Structure formats: C-alpha cells, structure tokens
C-alpha cells in the first residue's frame, strides 16, 4: 500500500451540497459528476449525495455515455444527462438500455433518431454565445418546435452554458441569459413543451440568482472550490480532497550542491532535504518545480529541484523531521493550508484541472 493517498472528505462534500441547496432554495439540482466526479471518485461521491434521502440531487450529469452506464451500474435511479452530443446510431441502443438522456442540437441528431425509429427522451442544448456546442439561439425556436412534433422524441429539458459567469464583468453572461430567456418566453407563448430549463453553472449559482430557472448544475462548487477568483463567496465551501504523503528519506547536502534533474536547484547553504513519493505521474505538475510547498509538522517547506515522475524533494534546513512524518501536499494543518488555487496560481490554471489530474495510481481514501 502506498504511503501517498488522496483523502476525500465526504462530510465536506455534503456541507457544500447543502449550502448550494440552501442558496438555490426549491430549484432542482443536477449534480455534475463527470470526469470521475472531478477526480474525487464517482461511486463514493454519488453514494454520499444519494444518502441525503429526500434531499438528494434531482438529476446527475456526466460527459459521456460510458460514464452514464457506470452510474446505472451503481443503481442510480435519477435521470442522467449526457453532455456529449449524440454521435451515431449505436449510441441510441445504449441510451435506451440504460435509460440515459442524450443531448441533441442539430438535424443530424434528429435524423439518427428518426432512422432508429425508437422513442427517446432528450435535452436540447442552445448556443447562446459559448460557440462550442448547441443549436444557435437564433434558430432554436424553429428546431424545438419541429422536435416537439416528432413522435419519437420527448423533450425532457433545454439548456445552455455560460462562457463568463465566473468573471467579474457579467455583461456577456447577462446577454447570454437574455437570449435563453427570450427563447423560453417564446416557447411558452406558442405552447411548445420544453421540459426543464437549466443554465446556471457554479459561477451563476454564486452570483446570478435570476438564472436559476427550473434547475441548476453545480460542478466545481460541489468539490469545494469557487470557479474563479472573481466570483463572490456567497456560498461557504470546503475543499473535499486533500493530498497526503510521508517523508521517505532524509539526506544532507552542502552549500552549492544541486538537487534533481537539470540541477535546477542549488543550495545556498548546508541543509537537509527530504524526498516524498509523489511525482508528475501522480498529478504533481512538473511546472511546479521550485514553486510549491508542503506542510510538515505544522510548518511550511519549499519544494526544491525538478519534479520527477515518482517523487519530489523539499528543503527542511536543520529542522527536526523524521522519516515517516506526514506531508500535506494539498490540505490544511493547524493555521497553514495549501489548496488547489495555490497550485493553479503557479500553473496558470484552475482547481478543476488540479483535481481531475490526480492520477488513478493515487489511492482515494474516503472519510466522513
């Protein structure tokens, strides 16, 4: 058993979930658990969320059909939306077998359904300005109206996605929402049934209450992080994942001696260094070289030398540290903490990427 592991605190997950639920009140919740629940473990995350009884999520959302099948094999009963668009005829057999909701948004998708001649519930994605996936909002009414008359299709929901809801300037988000709301109003006025409308992601849940509509889609907020450093903190969150390892070895080096590949660290004094069995194969990005820290016995220490595949080193000076001492790479101890934003600042990225990139070879240990 490795001495390195990811500790996933399911109590923190439920703390975040209930704070989101309190914020959105009676609005339905579609919990986004794609990418193995953002690296936290889909089986355990969904089990914890569903343990809340009548408060459990109304829907789940994943990226791919395979992820939806995994949820069904875990005996999940709620509707499951697949974000990935319908691609080929054989997808429909899997969707039918496992009762999954596909995303459709063009006439190729419609033709696939018609050729298969089987009944299917769908969610229709509307492009209000993200320009990634979806039927252009300017043509969306006609598309929805046509689909609503198709005997093989039942529209279970319509949705769109914000491009800038996590930014300080919300002007474009307001424009996107206006486009989507105009569509909803027209559908209502023409008595076109569209199911549940949903658009609010984590950023919008925090800052744009008017966008909640019938359902919201929390993703990164579930796992304890705000989607950017520009959103409000209107919901209190606790990070769900910690990364913990142990001191594996200790050695002394002299002033001027170097550490690791490429000699990218040279000591300016005689010092002790430690090695920790966690490297870039585990998700500790190589660009964190000489930039990151760890907490050991309540003190912060600097990472030194090039991050290697299986281990990293830290400079501890003459402080008393023993082999086997716990090393907090991500998490909190006493007054000190390191979170995914600390990594993100150095890597010019976001917590989503940090948690998703913790590799499968790092065991997940679950606690409440």
Catalytic residue among 77, 119, 188, 261: 261
Q: In this structure, what DSSP letter does residue 334 have?
A: T
**C-alpha neighbours within 13 Å on the C-beta side of residue 205:** 33
* Residue 225 falls in the annotated catalytic set: no
Q: In this structure, what DSSP letter does residue 54 have?
A: G
Q: Do residues 71 and 80 make contact, with C-beta atoms less than 8 angstroms apart?
A: yes
How far apart CA 245 and CA 352 sit, in angstroms, is: 22
Say which residues have a Cβ less than 8 Å from residue 250's Cβ, sequence separation at least 6: 272, 273, 274, 316, 321, 322, 323
* Residue 34 falls in the annotated catalytic set: yes
User: What are the phi and psi torsion angles at 318 (to 5°)?
Assistant: -110, 15
The first and second tokens of residue 11, run together, are: 């109590």
Residue 339 CA, chain-centre distance (Å), reads: 15
How far apart CA 40 and CA 61 sit, in angstroms, is: 15
Q: In this structure, what DSSP letter does residue 223 have?
A: G
Catalytic residue among 21, 23, 34, 246: 34
Residue 10: closest CA among 334, 330, 365:
365
Active site residues: 34, 261
């Amino acid at each position: 058993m490795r001495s390195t592991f990811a500790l996933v605190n399911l109590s923190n997950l439920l703390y975040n979930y209930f704070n989101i639920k309190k914020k959105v009140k009676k609005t339905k919740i579609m919990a986004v658990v794609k990418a193995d629940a953002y690296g936290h473990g889909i089986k355990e995350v969904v089990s914890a969320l569903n343990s809340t009884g009548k408060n459990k999520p109304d829907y789940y959302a994943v990226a791919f059909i395979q992820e939806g099948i995994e949820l069904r094999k875990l005996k999940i009963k709620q509707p499951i939306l697949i974000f990935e668009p319908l691609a080929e005829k054989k997808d429909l057999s899997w969707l039918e077998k496992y009762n999954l909701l596909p995303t459709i948004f063009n006439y190729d998708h419609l033709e696939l359904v018609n050729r298969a001649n089987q009944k299917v519930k769908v969610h229709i994605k509307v492009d209000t300005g993200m320009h990634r996936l979806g039927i252009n909002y300017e043509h969306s009414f006609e598309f929805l109206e046509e689909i609503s008359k198709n005997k093989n299709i039942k529209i279970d929901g319509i949705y769109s996605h914000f491009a800038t809801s996590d930014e300080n300037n919300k002007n474009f988000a307001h424009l996107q929402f206006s486009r989507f709301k105009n569509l909803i109003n027209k559908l209502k006025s023409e008595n076109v049934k569209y199911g549940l409308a949903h658009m609010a992601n984590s950023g919008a849940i925090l800052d744009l209450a008017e966008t909640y509509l019938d359902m919201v889609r929390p993703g990164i907020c579930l796992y304890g992080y705000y989607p950017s450093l520009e959103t409000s903190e209107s919901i209190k969150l606790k990070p769900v994942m910690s990364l913990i390892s142990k001191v594996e070895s200790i050695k002394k080096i002299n002033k001027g001696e170097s550490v690791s590949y490429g000699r990218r660290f040279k000591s300016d004094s005689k010092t002790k260094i430690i090695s920790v069995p966690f490297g870039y194969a585990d998700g500790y990005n190589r660009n964190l070289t000489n930039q990151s820290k760890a907490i050991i016995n309540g003190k912060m220490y600097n990472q030194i030398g090039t991050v290697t595949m299986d281990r990293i080193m830290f400079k501890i000076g003459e402080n008393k540290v023993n082999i086997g001492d716990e090393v907090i790479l991500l998490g909190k101890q006493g007054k000190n903490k390191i979170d995914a934003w600390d990594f993100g600042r150095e890597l010019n990225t976001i917590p989503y990427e940090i948690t998703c990139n913790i590799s499968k070879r790092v065991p997940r240990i679950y606690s409440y």
